[in-house]
Amino acid sequence: MVKNLMYNHFIHLSWLVHIQLNEGTFDRKIKTARALLGAESRHARAMVSWRTAGLLLTLCLLVLHRRRSRLSVNDPTELLFIGVSNTPPLPPPPPVPSAALGPLPSHAALFERAFFVNADDSPRRRGFMEQQLEAAGVRYERWPAIRGSPTLLRTHRRYFARGVEQHLYANRSAATGTIVQWGTVGTYLSHLTLFESIVRRWGHNDSASFLILQDDTQMKRRWLRKLSQELRAHEDSRWARLLLVWWGEQRNADCRLNGWCHVRPPAGPTEKGQPECCGRRFYHGLQAWLVKTHSLKCIIRRLKRRRIKNIDAQMVQTSCPRTYALEQKRMLGTHLDRELGSERAAVNAVFRASISDGKLKASAVRNLRKTRLEHLAKAGGPQSG
């Protein structure tokens, strides 16, 4: 009889644990437990000490845990310990296919993703960039470039409140009249609007890094591995912006950081009276570069105080902290301006010709062919911003 009472008490304790884990409100659990244990509680207390009851309860919890983790709901032996719940068990979550999440990108430890700037009427360059980035396993987005034209005075009016640099006008000395360097203006706005978009999306994460490229950049083989090596070798630099592919000159005095150069103004072209005379350009080009969100915020803020001009030079002039460039011999790619031409120069040439005699120079004609933008010359320039 004692054996039977202890067995029944064990079963009822198991039911009590199951009710506590699976049934409704706390009051309902207590009432159900009393109903189960009430009839035999006096005999149980008489036959089993509190110490024994504690041991039995501990054993019950252990068995319950093992049974719940190992037995299926349909296993009849499970009912001996956990009873039957009125609440059906939750189905296991459906497995997430690996394709839905995508493979872990090879650049995950280096930057969030890449952006390349590309105009809608340049499909050849778009395919060229997409092929490179997909081959490297890089997650990327295409940012539509803005074709410079007078239409921007209406569509992007707020940016012109900061002024336009005098050399972008037809009358350079007076900085008045008609703007002719619309290719330069379009390049400026294409990049600046990209910076603003990144800050809107990732502004909460100042340390997030991004790779920004122009669509006339060819990266070297195993460039991701080389980039990883460069960043590991300069972990103490706390870099904010790093030029990977650029053009112009470097100052030997700036390049004392184990293959990195400290980018500082003046960007050039240098003029008479400056220490580095004359017409020299330093750290120009935005072919490929890494940047962190907080550096983009700095660039956007400081560009507001400067007139519109060549944005690569302006970004050097902003002198945002911890900006570096790989030494020329260590650059991770090549600028293909000779092979693909310069779209900025092509647009500039078309508008210059439109306010003069309408004739393009031979060099401008060759550049239009390289860029495959001959339609701009026939139309007298881009018709929309």
Query: Which amino acid is residue 34, in one-letter code?
Result: R
Are 343 and 118 in contact by the 8 Å Cβ rule? The answer is no
pLDDT value, residue 106? 72
pLDDT value, residue 355? 84
Instruction: Give average pLDDT by consecutive 10-residue segment, the chain, 385 residues.
Output: 47 46 46 48 45 58 51 39 42 43 69 97 96 95 96 96 92 77 97 98 96 97 95 90 96 92 90 78 95 98 95 94 96 95 94 84 93 84 52
Other CB atoms within 10 A of residue 197 CB: 14
- 253 phi, psi to nearest 5 deg: -70, -20
The token pair at 53 is: 């009851």
Q: Please count the CA atoms within 13 angstroms of the CA of 367 that sit on its side-chain side.
A: 19
Is it true that the peptide bond before 269 is cis, omega within 30 degrees of 0? yes
Other CB atoms within 10 A of residue 85 CB: 13
Other CB atoms within 10 A of residue 8 CB: 15
The token pair at 130 is: 């997409």
Query: Which amino acid is residue 170, in one-letter code?
Result: A
pLDDT value, residue 140? 96
pLDDT value, residue 104? 54
Q: Provide the pairing of β-strand 209-214 with 176-179.
A: unpaired
Could you tell me which of 105, 136, 135, 129 has the C-alpha nearest to residue 115?
129
pLDDT value, residue 24? 47
Q: What is the rounded distance in angstroms from the CA atom of residue 10 to the CA atom of residue 62?
A: 13
Other CB atoms within 10 A of residue 247 CB: 17
Could you tell me which of 243, 251, 182 has the C-alpha nearest to residue 214?
243
The token pair at 182 is: 């619309």
Q: Which residues of 315-340 are buried (b: 16+ CB within 10 A; e: fewer)?
A: bbbbebebbbbbbeeebbbbbbbeeb
Could you tell me which of 310, 377, 383, 304 has the C-alpha nearest to residue 344?
310
pLDDT value, residue 60? 57
Q: Please count the CA atoms within 13 angstroms of the CA of 162 that sit on its side-chain side.
A: 17
pLDDT value, residue 274? 73
CA distances from 6 to 10, 39, 48, 154, 158 (A): 6, 14, 7, 89, 85
Right CATH number for 106-343 from 3.90.550, 3.30.390, 1.25.40, 3.80.10? Answer: 3.90.550
Q: Where are the domains of the chain?
A: 2-82, 106-343
The token pair at 325 is: 């460039």
The token pair at 322 is: 């911890």
Is it true that the peptide bond before 255 is cis, omega within 30 degrees of 0? no
